[in-house]
A = this chain, B = another copy of it.
């Protein structure tokens, strides 16, 4: 069954999220399927950063720590994220990077007496890299778990698992509730990496029993390149949690300038150094684009966009490195082709932005906030034309460069 432009336009008319597009001012003619890597700026993010530079920094200067509440920005930003991931408002803080935040949570679990740290082989690499570093420093064992094995695959004596809620390559969704149950029976804890899930999947973390999570601000949350990441900690556990990157911004009274660390109550103790206010202001502003967005609708639309794309490119000779149409999948799709890099470049030359992941994966992300069904169908049509004409064989598409 072929999907026609009329079908796509009908889907757009009925789209409960169609109004969210007004928050974005994308370049003319571009179809941006890379929001899973770097989201585009919502207009609120641009306005926020301009205000931060011109008024808060340049004019009010040091007073802005109070007058613009820069001091409260990490928790105010966290509160906006909390609703999107399904946890209580006061249980999230924006801070540092995913890598650094994984270290805080995993190391804090070691401080609480757990032993051993693990990651699934093939999960997003930085998660494992950081655990290697933690293992070497603390002397706790580091282990790989087989892909998809989850908490049930933890070797004896390893009690901390870092696992993506959505896999960066396959977009496969983890079963958070089942994983938490499996962890509990082993006396283990899971640190969820929400990088490819936050702002897209209706995570319902608290209801599903998740206790600890980190996530990325610059993908589906559209917070800007290298936007601050975030930490979630179950509020019933936060007051007893001891994380080792105990900088002054996690202190109960940073402006006492007292010797001796006394952690702030709750999730605020996951603050470390002075937050990157310019970057965090962009993220805080960007999150306004999520006001009124129902996360169940967002997840459903992202999957429907991906399903439409997969159906429309069926038969073009790609392998499938993600769940297929109608299956549980998050916000991107992954195709395989030995000339994937050149094909992605040929698409970029035609105004369709996706990305390439070694060794052979073409990845296309479907943000539910600014993409229409019609655009996604048009992108698939362009890919079809490129494959039919073999226009990716043009030598200018051959050279490889690293792209995040």
| Selected interface stretch from A15-23, A81-89, A253-261 | A253-261
A97: contacting residue among B61, B224, B272, B282, CB under 8 A: B272
Q: Report whether A225 and B278 are in contact in the complex, using a CB–CB cutoff of 8 Å.
A: yes
A403 at the interface (CB under 8 A from B): yes
Q: Report whether B256 and A358 are in contact in the complex, using a CB–CB cutoff of 8 Å.
A: yes
Most buried by B among A133, A259, A401: A133
For A139, the chain B residues whose CB sits under 8 A away are 139
Q: Report whether B61 and A404 are in contact in the complex, using a CB–CB cutoff of 8 Å.
A: no
Q: Report whether B259 and A122 are in contact in the complex, using a CB–CB cutoff of 8 Å.
A: yes
- By size class, the interface of chain A is 35 or more
For A282, the chain B residues whose CB sits under 8 A away are 53, 278
Cα–Cα distance between A24 and B133 once the two chains are bound (Å): 42
A179 at the interface (CB under 8 A from B): no
A277 at the interface (CB under 8 A from B): yes
Q: List 24 A-B contacts (CB under 8 A).
A: A37-B62, A38-B62, A40-B58, A41-B53, A66-B402, A66-B403, A70-B225, A96-B97, A97-B247, A99-B249, A100-B100, A103-B245, A110-B137, A126-B247, A126-B248, A126-B273, A129-B246, A129-B248, A134-B244, A136-B244, A137-B137, A226-B275, A255-B358, A276-B276
A401: contacting residue among B25, B57, B66, B403, CB under 8 A: B66
Cα–Cα distance between A276 and B276 once the two chains are bound (Å): 7
For A224, the chain B residues whose CB sits under 8 A away are 53, 57, 277-278
Cα–Cα distance between A349 and B368 once the two chains are bound (Å): 49
Cα–Cα distance between A67 and B195 once the two chains are bound (Å): 24
Cα–Cα distance between A177 and B293 once the two chains are bound (Å): 59
Q: Report whether A132 and B403 are in contact in the complex, using a CB–CB cutoff of 8 Å.
A: no
A227: contacting residue among B128, B130, B276, CB under 8 A: B276
A251 at the interface (CB under 8 A from B): yes
A138 at the interface (CB under 8 A from B): yes
Q: Report whether B62 and A251 are in contact in the complex, using a CB–CB cutoff of 8 Å.
A: no
Q: Report whether A121 and B402 are in contact in the complex, using a CB–CB cutoff of 8 Å.
A: no
